[in-house]
Structure 1
């Protein structure tokens, strides 16, 4: 009996590794792709070129002979005044967050058509609302949020479903790095300021990677067949006021 196979980009990251664990728990074969070596990474690839994206998909198919799903979890954060954005910073964020996701998705569609598979991309609350001081990141995640809508309508006749999950801040090493890099020397206060925007007040906490992985797992199931072209928030209501 053939096992279902999912390709996960950003597999070395907090969300990517949680997604791998959840799908393996569910009996799926997982092919992890990342730019760096690490636990759960099967293919080393810098997905900032279309050629690298297509090669990663080919390698994933060669490992297990099929592809039933793709989770696009690779991404990076930046912030700062829009007037200070360099072209190099802009290109890096869009190459990782948008171009890599687009061309992995593009390369995978012919295989997913054979299995009536799914694609779930990691967008953000910043993909459905504007985050002041993070224009480049917000623009990149906005592109992902609308990409899934467009592609979902295009490939629906082939039985492929395409969605995005839109988390708030996730308790991962990436968030810790974000606080260290952009916290002005006070990462604890930076994180506290993020939490202060949540409607839970003193009960506020960050989303856990396993919670995001659980939502992505649900979207892969038969019970979610009616869900496509959706951006599903998982942010404690952070973006509910827009």
Structure 2
């Protein structure tokens, strides 16, 4: 059954690139009215244009930094003022870091936690009243790094573990009010995310992906579209009795040796 979102209003954060872009485009293809949040004005406008081309529905573009209270306030206010309601929220925006306890500093910690945890917490609490009214749902985008330990993933993996627990907590709290909360945890995914955290050239990144692919039990790394399909499934009425779940989209990588595949090793002092 193909999900139908023609009567739905969905907010997607981190929609200007990567997984968020793929999620936005699939929702647009299925007829959803969209509020798209990102920090890069040009990229966000490009994604919005492509979404509009799917069904002729013009998304609301919100340029905001969700690591800040002002960014969360603006996102919640603009979305509700524009649409008057909300039926779905996809918390996808996130930033990474590659460090370890010998090299890290509190600036890195604050930067990653402010976006990946505090921003999700702050934005979600503001949107929950509207989601209760619509009996809507939340899908949070985590990572298998939230449960898999690897050298160099501090503090990113901590934020994803926190996000997983947050999702389960509010799923329990909101279930009696008719709001579902689920989490999608991608494995190695083709995107610019790893390249932004490393000094990889395009060729080196392709080699890294190939190394990762060989260790994935199903033999394939993820794409943004793979993650988007699971997000849409969990957000659809086909998942009406699904809440509090953490669904891995990783080809089985979590059950294999993750270690050096997830992060390039960092030299310590």
TM-score (normalised: structure 1): 0.90
CA apart distance, 1:86:
1.1
**1:30-70 deviations in Å (ceiling 9; x for gaps):** 11011221223500111112342122111011121110000
**1:179-202 deviations in Å (ceiling 9; x for gaps):** 436x8x9444444443343234xx
CA apart distance, 1:73:
0.8
Q: Residue 55 of structure 2 corresponds to which residue in structure 1?
A: none
Q: How does 1:14-163 map to 2 (within 5 A)?
A: 14-37=18-41, 38=43, 39-40=46-47, 42-163=61-182
Q: Residue 229 of structure 1 corresponds to which residue in structure 2?
A: 244
Report if aligned partners of 2:145, 2:157 keep a CA contact under 8 Å in 1. Answer: yes
Q: Sort the Cα spacing of 1:241 and 1:170 in 2 relative to 1 into closer, same or farther, 3 A.
A: closer
Runs (5+) with no aligned partner, structure 1: none
**Distance in 2 of aligned mates of 1:54 and 1:89:** 24
**Distance in 1 of aligned mates of 2:121 and 2:198:** 28
Secondary structure, counterpart of 2:254 in structure 1: coil
Secondary structure, counterpart of 1:43 in structure 2: strand
**Distance in 1 of aligned mates of 2:151 and 2:217:** 18
1:198 paired with 2:213, answer no
Secondary structure, counterpart of 2:140 in structure 1: strand
Report if aligned partners of 1:5, 1:28 keep a CA contact under 8 Å in 2. Answer: yes
CA apart distance, 1:225:
1.3
Report if aligned partners of 1:15, 1:209 keep a CA contact under 8 Å in 2. Answer: yes
**Distance in 1 of aligned mates of 2:238 and 2:90:** 18
Report if aligned partners of 1:23, 1:217 keep a CA contact under 8 Å in 2. Answer: yes
Count of residue pairs brought into register by the alignment: 236
Report if aligned partners of 2:88, 2:136 keep a CA contact under 8 Å in 1. Answer: yes
Secondary structure, counterpart of 2:139 in structure 1: strand
CA apart distance, 1:221:
1.2
Secondary structure, counterpart of 2:199 in structure 1: helix
Aligned partner (choices 218, 225, 239) of residue 210 of structure 1? 225
**Distance in 2 of aligned mates of 1:23 and 1:14:** 15
Q: Residue 174 of structure 1 corresponds to which residue in structure 2?
A: 193
Secondary structure, counterpart of 1:205 in structure 2: coil
Report if aligned partners of 2:76, 2:127 keep a CA contact under 8 Å in 1. Answer: yes
Runs (5+) with no aligned partner, structure 2: 1-5, 49-60, 258-269
Report if aligned partners of 2:92, 2:141 keep a CA contact under 8 Å in 1. Answer: yes
Secondary structure, counterpart of 1:195 in structure 2: helix
